[in-house]
Structure 1
């Protein structure tokens, strides 16, 4: 299946094979860089390695995980590109999850003023969300994705075979973005997925294209996040702060686990504002808890979380910017909340662990 993103690039959802690399060879690159982490080098690279033969290739391996998504890792990538003789007529293939896609695209787009890149997302999170839309970047000053740019790949190749390499927890993390897409844009799908808790039984070949279409359509309408695209941030203002707080702790949260906290708390804010019905808040809360469980948030870190939210790049005029829900399937962008309201939303979440 091929989904065009305007006239700029296509998202191909199918097993990656010879036709993909034949298309790439026709672009007459001098060589390819393949960026992997230690997991995707072992589990995913073998699925495409035979197709790399015959073209000069530099494979660069970086450590896996969000905590390595920073300037030092980018410096290592750039150094390896220089050592490998990579020039401007090369193409970078980012084989990995959201961290590899964000950081690899950023490194490629800034190396020698920019080389082309292809996204080969290997996690559910990156297949339904991170690889689509041209947002690239790294974490800086303890704030997620605070250094970066908008730059489209020349292609996105989504191969569901990669999902078989994922631990159950990683699959569950990516599923948070499917929930988010349903809540902001598809009430019917939200009603359907609320029956799912066993993700091993889900037919991803149906779910992934549906979720990708939602994000693609929003991105095409608002490519630089001036308006409607902000709907995609539902659950992420609080979710990113919670994820950042736990990043270097023993009970570290994955991205989707942080977003699940964010979807519950930001749904509470929506209900507190009067845009979301209480029964919908209860359904969202119940489903996120059934899928993700409950991670208590220390009360003494609330101020730190709010300070992290104040650093969010979506903020305007000194106010913390949110996306709220009017109802499942309909988002309301450019909403704000006070520190007191955010604190009460976090208290609401914490109380769920004692109920």
Structure 2
């Protein structure tokens, strides 16, 4: 497998700028997920890596070779499309072997490769069927099989699971994860689903409006978001953002917020104090993950600096493994993640606990992480 460098890539159509100075580097065997809302440029970037779209400026480098002017067939890349792109008049066997036939691979090698891939993807019993007789998940496996027999330098996946139902998406996500672990392949994967990104990636590139917002390991993206966009895009429910004012009293910093039941001075953990000292007396944006707001009697899930607050509960949403409570805090709605069997009820006031050791602070003007 191969390394990939995306260096200062820009893409524009006349006066319309699609991608703006994108820089991404991954090593051999990495699983890079490009994630972001529709229209952010992630599929355009994938097509430029594949050679299906021209680069306005910058370089695509595969194994230290600049491939900007290479034809797609010369880049040794296999792509799995959202639409599967299977030939309806061909059997599964012929669909998988089609690329090898074009390259005039000997028949015995074709048969061996098809058999190995079909066994790996558990579709050996489907080899004589045509795509019209397959389910969505089976078609996706065939599309993946056609890519796998290539043994390419890099695999590209363009939202491959978006046409599947919820359960099948989870099943196929697991299969792709197993496949990567088995092959140690270099993969670039496009999705707008942040759960897919978190579960599959070794590295995530979060994009917005053609600009790379943050590149890092899933844990870094989730626990150390670069700005408010990344903070709210990654996570379900998304991070709560509330306005706060930094204050100091006897060396202890506080985040002052308003609530329907009064004003709270939330003590800031000492490990966060050095970064916030320059903001004393100024307004900032306080970010709190839903899992860091729990019921008062469930503080065993929290640690270190815990603050108790009283909030009115607007909506309770049982999800099975836990319960999401939408509550009024700082004169706005925020989400709290409660126990599966929760005593919290809608249209009542309840006591909650906030883990101030895990909160995030962002500059109110730039929206960048403090």
Structure with bigger strand share is 2
Q: TM-score, normalised by structure 1?
A: 0.32
Structure with bigger helix share is 1
- Whichever of the two has the greater Rg, that structure is 2
